[in-house]
Structure 1
Amino acid sequence: MTISLAWDAVLMWRSRQQWLHRPAEAADPVAVVERLAGVQAQVTSAAEQAVAARQPEPGSGPGGEDVRAALREQRLVKTWAARGTLHLLEARQAPAHLALIGAARTWEKGSWQKTFVTVAQMEKLAAAAHEALDGRVLTREQLTTAVVEHAGAPDLAEHLASGWGTVLKPLAWQGVLVHGPSADDRRVTFTRPDTFVPGWTGLPDPAEAARVVIPAYLGAYGPASAATFDQWLCRGASRKAALRQWFAGLLADGVLAEVDVEGERLFARAEDLEALEGARDFDDVRLLPAFDQFVLGPGTADARVVPPEHRAQVSRAAGWISPVVAYRGRVAGVWDGAEVTLFDERVPRAGIEAEQRRLKVI
């Protein structure tokens, strides 16, 4: 029997699943990253703030140093993941995330090859990087030099040196490289996960990876459609037949269930059905940092989370995602320091002021 749900209840359930209710006991940063199915880390400070925003009180749980320590200890991995953006991933789950993104084989598309490098060149790059990074940590410049020399292809240097890392991303999705510890001068470094991350298992088959990543996503951002999941994962680039098979397999095995949310047939984890039906109100106001998963999980195109008329204030130029006011599971405004712009005047002012005091911006 398919259960019926209301969006208000779903969105407040999600808030608790994303730990916006701030559990009484401080959470390890690795647990926060795992719960959120990764934390975007294009801006390092924003990733650290996302972890801190889910702690009981300022200073009571992990801060930026705790996140950096988890990276040094290889309990967290930093690499290009969902939507081709830098993320922090829980080290044990990272292979599954990378395998599922890599299954789209976006670098094999004709338009990509015409703009960047051919499949043959990518194979050379992968082999050269695999050898260059064996037990080593190299800066981008050092990696570029080593790869160009090994591959005998000086024309690749410009692509490798690009600050956007476009040509390096497919290497990450094939398990060839991850980010290493920062160099002494704070330059970005790269290394091989199998010689750097303890217990690295290598990339699983995509079907096996889907059994890890899809439930992880739905545990924080469900119920959702397969298309919404795919937009979060790789901007809708997954092969549609494979996507259908992944969801169908999880449904057949009882890991997932279909639910009706105000007329939409969506997927949820079977283990979450009881909690979804009994979802409790969540009225606390939260001031969340830029690039927070609260927004990125469902995506800014989700009109139930981001009011369409205010989307441009949330999703800004050059891919910037504004710090947001979260209230009752929705984006209710944006903020910058002491300045708050509300989209919904029902947001309690006392809640905003409490968050501002927490963040020491008033």
Structure 2
Amino acid sequence: MTFVLTWDDVLHWRCYQQWLHRPAEAEDPVAVVTRLAGVQAQVASCAEQAVAARQDQPDPGAVKQALVRGDLIKTWAARGTLHLLPPDLAKAQLALLAAARTWEKGAWQRTFVTTAQMDRITEAAAEVLDGRVLTREELTAAIVEHAKDPTLEDHLKSGWGTVLKPVAWQGLLVYGTDGVAFTRPTWGDLPEPATAARTVIPAYLGAYGPASAATFDQWLIRGQSRKAALRQWFAELLEDGVLAEVDVAGERLYARTEDLRTLQRPQSFPGVRLLPAFDQFVLGPGTADTRVIPKERRPQVSRAAGWISPVVVHEGRVAGVWDEAGETLWAKVPAKAIKAERARLP
């Protein structure tokens, strides 16, 4: 039996799945990050605000404390962007990113470094970071010396960290507890991709489902997973009963089997939320999803240089953008609710 759903039902359901109703469980920042399958942390303050937006009583220092304890780690993960993740979910997500071997593609090598150079960077980073915490400058100098290749210096110093991302994806580099310097995690080998998929795919669908395999892949690695592997991951989860197919307005999509009951009886979410820049509400489905963001409004949300605007969410959709000066709305939103949200801002 295939369940038939509407997009209105799905979008309201996602609000609750992403804890926009601010349940008691959300007071734990680690639980929020886990629930969202990671929180983008290109801008540290935005990551902290994304957690706080889902809490009734935000604790301004809670995310940093979780990083110090090791309950959260910071590293390059989904889409090559910095994320906060709990360690077990990080290991699984990194395993899927590494499986794509994107750094072995010709275009990547022509732009950055060769596969042989990348191998030397990886080997050097694994050795020099073992039991140590190094700044970007210290890490660059140590890798150049170890690899005996001064041409690597400019690539390693790049603020984008492009040649360090494959090292992170192989589970050999994370940020230290200060969120600035780097170290090597002590978690051992990453899981096999097929095993990792059994963690990452349900985690994604639990917050942003129902969705297609292609949408999941765009969220994970901008559509660069090996297609045969991607199909196999979903097929095995479907066969094992972890996932089910559902019909959403004529689209055949995947959902977690455990979510079918609540998907069929979704609660309306009439609330208004002011969410920060780079919030998972829009990054999960992607800014090109016209069910969440009207096509003509996407340029106001997805800005130049990869900037994702703070958004106003109402009834499961993006209804506008906001900043300290005010809001730009394209849907009717209760002014009283926006005022209440602004009163929460630090």
TM-score over 0.5 for the alignment?
yes
Quote the Cα distance in structure 1 between the aligned partners of 2:331 and 2:35: 28
| 1:223-273 CA distance string (max 9 Å, x none) | 000000000000000011100000000000000000000000000000000
Quote the Cα distance in structure 1 between the aligned partners of 2:342 and 2:318: 17
**Aligned runs of 1:133-282 on 2, under 5 Å?**
133-182=129-178, 188-194=180-186, 200-282=187-269
Aligned to 2:7: 7
Q: CA deviation at 1:61?
A: 3.4
Decide whether the 8 Å contact of 1:333 with 1:344 is kept in 2. yes
* Number of residue-to-residue matches in the alignment: 346
TM-score relative to the length of structure 2:
0.98
Q: CA deviation at 1:181?
A: 2.9
Q: CA deviation at 1:130?
A: 0.8
Decide whether the 8 Å contact of 1:104 with 1:237 is kept in 2. yes
Aligned to 2:34: 34
Q: CA deviation at 1:25?
A: 5.2
Q: CA deviation at 1:279?
A: 0.2
Quote the Cα distance in structure 2 between the aligned partners of 1:317 and 1:140: 26
AA paired with 1:358? Answer: R
Decide whether the 8 Å contact of 2:311 with 2:321 is kept in 1. yes
* Residue ranges of structure 2 left out of the alignment (5+ in a row): none
Quote the Cα distance in structure 2 between the aligned partners of 1:219 and 1:243: 18
Q: Relative to 1, partners in 2 of residues 1:317 and 1:260: Cα closer, same or farther, differing over 3 Å?
A: same
Quote the Cα distance in structure 2 between the aligned partners of 1:151 and 1:4: 57
* Residue ranges of structure 1 left out of the alignment (5+ in a row): 195-199
Aligned to 2:329: 342
Quote the Cα distance in structure 2 between the aligned partners of 1:24 and 1:271: 21
Quote the Cα distance in structure 1 between the aligned partners of 2:135 and 2:36: 29
Of 128, 131, 136, the match for 1:132? 128
AA paired with 1:81? Answer: A
**1:266 match: secondary structure:** strand
Q: CA deviation at 1:109?
A: 0.1
Q: CA deviation at 1:62?
A: 3.0
Aligned to 1:53: 53
AA paired with 1:7? Answer: W
AA paired with 1:357? Answer: A
TM-score relative to the length of structure 1:
0.94
* Identical-pair percentage: 71
Q: CA deviation at 1:10?
A: 0.4
Aligned to 2:101: 105
**1:237 match: secondary structure:** coil
